[in-house]
Amino acid sequence: MRGLMEKDIRLTLTRKQTLLIFFVMALIMGISMDGSFLIGYLTMLATIISIGTISYDEYDNGLAFLMTLPFERKTYVREKYVFTFLMACGAWCIGALVDCAGCLIRHDPLHLASDLPMLLSILPVMFLSAAIMIPLQLKYGAEKSRTVLFIIFGVIAVIILGSQSVLHGTANPFSSIAAGLDSLPSALIFTAITAVCALLSFISYLWCVRIMEKKEF
């Protein structure tokens, strides 16, 4: 798996200009904007970039060549999840450092410690997003996966808007649930989010392994 990890790192570094632009934008946002947005923005970008390495692998029948090398297909899947997780964590740490530097420049109090549970919850949520996108990318390819993802989020949006219209003027159960969750300790909410995302990510991993084992090149 170390060789696959090195391959993805080298593929990512080929986009040096794009990464430099993102870093400069992060510095500007760190000075002028809220830290939670900055950290979420960088973590999301790192997640998208790491998943984009699958498209590089598929380019010009590259994935078919990779599958001739001496490693199991589930190792390829595992490496994608590990690489995405490491990239997201690295971007989160960079965002936190930039946010702290921005607070020092603006002479604002450092709020990272007080907001830590909320900011840490960005990681499992982003990794859950990756757990949705990775199997779609492996199953349908880059172009079709974007269409499928757009349909999924469209259906979710319709369900949310539809439930709001149906429950309009009545006792909304989601409001009481949100109020109950708001009263819980932040650490407990973070632990619950992490556990749910870890379970769903493991299911996603098993699905990806099944997809790769059935895939013909």
Look at the chain and report how many structural domains it folds into: 1
Instruction: Report the C-alpha gap between 146 and 137 in whole angstroms.
Output: 8
Q: Which amino acid is it at 78?
A: R
User: How far, CA to CA in Å, does 138 sit from each of 18, 51, 144, 207?
Assistant: 24, 10, 10, 10
Q: What is the pTM of this model?
A: 0.79
Count Cβ atoms within 10 A of the Cβ of residue 80 and give its class: 0-12 exposed, 13-18 middle, 19 or more buried. Answer: buried
Q: Any residues with CB less than 8 A from the CB of 11 and at least 6 apart, and which?
A: 53, 56
The H-assigned helical ranges of the chain are 2-13, 16-32, 35-51, 53-58, 62-66, 73-106, 116-120, 122-166, 173-182, 186-214
Of the candidates 146, 150, 94, 142, which has an alpha carbon nearest to the alpha carbon of residue 122?
94
What is the extent of the structural domain holding 107?
A: 2-214
pLDDT, tens digit only, all 217 positions of the chain: 788 888 888 888 887 777 788 778 777 776 666 667 788 888 888 888 888 888 888 877 778 888 888 888 889 999 999 999 999 999 888 888 887 877 777 777 766 666 777 788 888 888 888 888 898 888 877 666 667 666 766 666 666 566 555 555 555 555 555 556 556 676 777 788 888 888 999 999 999 999 888 877 6
